[in-house]
């Protein structure tokens, strides 16, 4: 078992857009963990995000134009499969996800054998803006009902995906921030195990890139589509 752990190949994926002020520090800290290869997908940033990531020592893939976080993740997941990684750990490039906590996901993977590990900030929500806390709890409750299992922090982008579930995620059609919710739904629908790892989140003065109206509409469209697919899936098993 220990030999298998030592041979595992992990990729640390940081999808980002306009993060020139934070990405060098985030990528550097991720590299310092020595837990995996750090790959940054710069989603068409007009600033020096790519240059700063390279200066930190990360491998950088650049989109010519901004395609949305979901598409940046697809690019990273595709690279991971092509290069035969066993798992991908995702975190944001703005500094909200402490790279020092990447080890929590590796430990949770070892302990549970789950195919997806979702970070949870719910053990300590001190410092989380009230509107984000309320939104996270509501979305998590709503998604958990569709998943058929409780996931306490479905809006947390700090995650581990095993290679087995990456093809499902690559097929997801949500190109923006709702992609991470779609990942959860598809992974659950296909019978893969989902577990959690404790994380904290650092909130600074960064501006959220989520567009509330557009992304909420996309989220509910995606959820409606999933429920329809779930009914078809169950009917096919009957």
Q: Are 155 and 140 in contact (CB under 8 A)?
A: yes
Lowest mean pLDDT among 54-68, 99-113, 224-238: 224-238
Overall number of domains in the chain: 1
Question: Vertex 67, ends 32 and 71: CA angle to 5°?
Answer: 60
- Residue 48: the pLDDT is 98
- CATH code of residue 109: 3.90.550.10
d(CA 182, CA 168): 10
57: enclosing H helix or E strand: none
Please enumerate in sequence order all residues whose Cβ is within 8 A of that of 155, keeping only pairs 6 or more positions apart, or say none.
Answer: 135, 136, 139, 140, 180, 181
Question: Vertex 117, ends 43 and 224: CA angle to 5°?
Answer: 70
The per-residue pLDDT of the chain, averaged, comes to: 84
pTM: 0.81
Lowest mean pLDDT among 26-40, 156-170, 217-231: 217-231
Residue 12 has pLDDT above 70, yes or no: yes
Nearest to 143 by CA among 94, 102, 188, 96: 188
Read off the pLDDT band of 147 (50, 70, 90).
Answer: confident
Domain range enclosing 121: 2-237
Q: Give the pLDDT confidence of 82-127 residue by residue, as tens digits.
A: 999 999 999 999 999 999 999 999 999 999 999 999 999 766 656 6
């Amino acid at each position: 078992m220990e030999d298998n752990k030592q041979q595992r190949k992990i990729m640390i994926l940081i999808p980002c857009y306009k993060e020139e002020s934070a990405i060098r520090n985030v990528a550097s800290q991720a590299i310092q963990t020595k837990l995996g290869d750090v790959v940054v997908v710069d989603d068409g940033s007009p600033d020096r995000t790519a240059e700063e990531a390279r200066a930190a020592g990360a491998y950088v893939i650049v989109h010519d134009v901004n395609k949305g976080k979901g598409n940046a993740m697809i690019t990273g997941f595709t690279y991971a499969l092509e290069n035969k990684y066993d798992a991908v750990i995702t975190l944001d490039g703005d500094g909200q996800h402490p790279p020092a906590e990447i080890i929590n996901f590796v430990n949770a993977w070892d302990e549970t054998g789950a195919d997806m590990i979702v970070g949870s900030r719910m053990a300590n929500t001190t410092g989380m803006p009230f509107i984000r806390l309320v939104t996270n709890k509501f979305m998590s409750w709503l998604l958990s009902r569709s998943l058929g299992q409780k996931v306490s922090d479905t809006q947390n982008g700090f995650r581990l995906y095993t290679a087995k579930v990456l093809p499902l995620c690559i097929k997801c059609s949500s190109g923006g921030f709702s992609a991470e919710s779609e990942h959860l739904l598809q992974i659950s629908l296909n019978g893969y195990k989902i577990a959690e790892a404790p994380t904290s989140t650092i909130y600074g003065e960064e501006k959220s890139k989520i567009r509330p109206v557009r992304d909420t509409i996309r989220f509910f469209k995606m959820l409606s589509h999933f429920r329809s697919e779930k009914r078809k899936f169950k009917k096919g098993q009957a």
